[in-house]
């Protein structure tokens, strides 16, 4: 398995609308859209930059993973996602290398991606997402 590129950087925010203003009005990025991912209890804003993007993540529930992240760490970078060409093979390759996976099989991610998270205890305390997109 080889990571093809940085797919996106996920940033946890308390107020999505206010955060979007910073990235659009201050940094000049364009909002490509938003999406609610019910199963992850998150609302996502997509801001492309170069051949990657920033994903701003706002929790839709006090018990969602983003709400818990902000409660523990405050707002900020929550994860980095790497694009892979075959998510199932990537998961197996990580497990074969002894890395702990949060997701043993792919799940639905924002933007129609198939995703799987690696456990931060296996990656130097960095939450890494593997992402496969059909683009």
Q: Render pLDDT for 79-127 as a digit per residue (tens, 0 to 9).
A: 999 999 999 999 999 999 999 999 999 999 998 999 999 999 999 999 9
Q: Strands 128-132 and 76-83, how do they pair? A: parallel
**For residues 5 and 39, what is the distance between their CA atoms, to the nearest angstrom?**
26
pLDDT at 135 over 70: no
- Which CATH number characterizes residue 28's domain? 3.10.180.10
- Is 0.85 surpassed by the pTM of this model? yes
What total of structural domains would you count in the chain?
1
Question: Which range of residues forms the domain containing residue 112?
Answer: 5-132
Distances in Å between the Cα of 49 and the Cα atoms of 7, 8, 37, 58, 133 are 11, 9, 22, 20, 17
The three-class DSSP label of residue 62 is: coil
């Amino acid at each position: 398995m080889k990571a093809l590129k940085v797919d996106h950087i996920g940033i946890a925010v308390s107020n999505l609308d206010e955060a979007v203003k910073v990235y659009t009005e201050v940094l000049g990025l364009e909002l490509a859209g938003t999406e609610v991912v019910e199963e992850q209890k998150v609302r996502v804003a997509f801001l492309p930059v170069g051949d990657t993007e920033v994903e701003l993540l706002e929790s839709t529930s006090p018990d969602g993973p983003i709400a818990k992240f902000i409660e523990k760490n405050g707002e900020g970078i929550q994860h980095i996602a790497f694009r892979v060409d075959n998510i199932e093979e990537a998961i197996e390759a990580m497990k074969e290398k002894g890395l702990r996976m949060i997701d043993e099989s792919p799940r639905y991610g924002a933007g129609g991606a198939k995703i799987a998270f690696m456990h931060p205890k296996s990656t130097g305390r960095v939450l890494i997402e593997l992402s496969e997109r059909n683009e």
